[in-house]
Structure 1
């Protein structure tokens, strides 16, 4: 689960496993696998980092792979 903020400032928590796409239109829009869309205040890069940390915390993303991605940036 990751904590995000709606455009109106209200925080909410979303299950990162169900995220299908993250796009900037320029607002960051998250589309879930059930086609629900959420527009959030966080930048696209922030959401990606939160998702990667979540995956790592539940052992879906190994530590080495996460470190390799940080080195590329």
Structure 2
């Protein structure tokens, strides 16, 4: 889960596993796999960093490395 801030300064937590797309339109827009959109004050780079940190925390990046190793 990553913490983000709506444009009205309200903070909330979002499950990074459901993020499908992040755009700057010019506000940062996060689109989830179910089509729901959130407009947040964080930059795209901040969202990427927080998501990557979350993936590492839950072992998702390690899982991907193991799958690649097994395929070789």
Deviations 1:12-48 (A, max 9, x none): 0000000000000110000000000000000000000
Partner of 1:25: 25
Alpha-carbon distance between aligned partners in 1 of 2:15 and 2:43, rounded to the nearest angstrom? 18
Q: Following TM superposition, where does structure 1 have runs of at least 4 consecutive aligned residues deviating by more than 4 angstroms?
A: none
TM-score (normalizing by structure 1): 0.83
Q: How many residues align?
A: 63
Tell me the SS of whatever aligns to 2:47.
helix
TM-score (structure 2 length as normaliser) = 0.84
Point out the structure with max Rg over C-alpha: 2
> Aligned equivalents of 1:56 and 1:25: distance in 2?
28
In 1, the alpha carbon distance for the partners of 2:30 and 2:7 equals 13
Shift of 1:61: 1.2
Q: CA deviation at 1:60?
A: 0.5
More helix by share: 2
